Structure 1
Amino acid sequence: MKEIKAFIRPNKVNDIVHHLKDAGFENMTISSAEGTGKLQDEAAFVSQKFSITDSEVAKLELVVNKNDVDKVVHIISEQGKTLNPGDGIIYVSDVNQIYRVKDGLKNGN
């Protein structure tokens, strides 16, 4: 199993999630976040919580079979891009073990 974590523009979340669900990827977590990076956007703001934050981002997380990684990354990239700097980044990590919260049973791997 693989975890895919994508930091994307908030205004692209609905398109990405819609296409992921249409492709059969129903389970994901979406969070609002703040970040900072190389890009200094004209619309940058000073966060009220963190002094170095300069942009709003959305964080999308899902765990998929390793054979589905390329498909998910393609959907996120195609639906999330604006062709402008600061479109985001996608990380793929190994998931060694998965346990259900309700009973502690190991799933998958």
Structure 2
Amino acid sequence: MFLITFEDKLKINSMKKVEAIIRKSKFSGVKKALHEVGVNFFSYWDVTGLGNEKEGHVYRGVSYSTSDIQRRYLSIVVNDDFEEATIKAILTAASTGEVGDGKIFVSQVDEVYRIRTGEKGGNTLK
């Protein structure tokens, strides 16, 4: 008799949500790096945040700085097998070595459902 324990079930359906806030200028490189490691679907949008870094702007010939920071936010759900490669791709492609390169957040995803079929689990990410 084969029994699946709760721990085994967690391993089978173990998924992570990787969220990254990166410089807009680095998005193209990050997108390419993600595709190269097999991450072909993710969501992204432009965001404005506040931080320690000041951004310089010019409006009608007048220079000013603001703590409002323009960035791109990425949301990626991957099976555990892709977590490390996903993070490494973002770190490598998004880094300039300067303050303001961004952040990566990783959290556990309990379940994923494919709306079209009702299928659930890690296979829906393919």
Q: TM-score, normalised by structure 1?
A: 0.84
Q: Number of residues paired by the alignment? A: 103
Q: Distance in 1 between matches of 2:81 and 2:35?
A: 17
Measured after TM superposition, the shift of residue 40 of structure 1 is 2.2
Q: 1:16 is paired with a residue of what secondary structure?
A: helix
In the other structure, the counterpart of 2:111 is 97
Matched, 1:16 2:30: yes
More strand by share: 2
Cα shift readout 1:68-88 (whole Å, capped 9, x = no counterpart):
211111110110011110000
Displaced runs of 4 or more, over 4 A: none
Q: What is the DSSP-based 3-state SS (H/G/I as helix, E as strand, rest coil) of the residue aligned with 1:14?
A: helix
Aligned match of 2:44:
30
CA distance in 1, matches of 2:53, 2:67: 12
Letter in structure 2 aligned against 1:74: K
TM-score where L is the length of structure 2:
0.73
User: Share of identical aligned residues, percent?
Assistant: 29
Deviation of 1:53 after TM superposition, in Å, equals 6.3
Structure 2, unaligned stretches of length 5 or more?
A: 1-14, 60-65
Whole-Å separation in 1 of the counterparts to 2:86 and 2:58: 29
Secondary structure, aligned partner of 1:69: helix
Please tell me the residue identity of whatever aligns with 1:3. K
Q: What RMSD, in angstroms, separates the aligned Cα atoms of the two structures?
A: 2.2
Distance 1:44 1:55, change over 3 A: farther
Cα deviations across residues 13-50 of structure 1 (Å, max 9, x unaligned)?
A: 000101111221101111111111122233499xxxxx
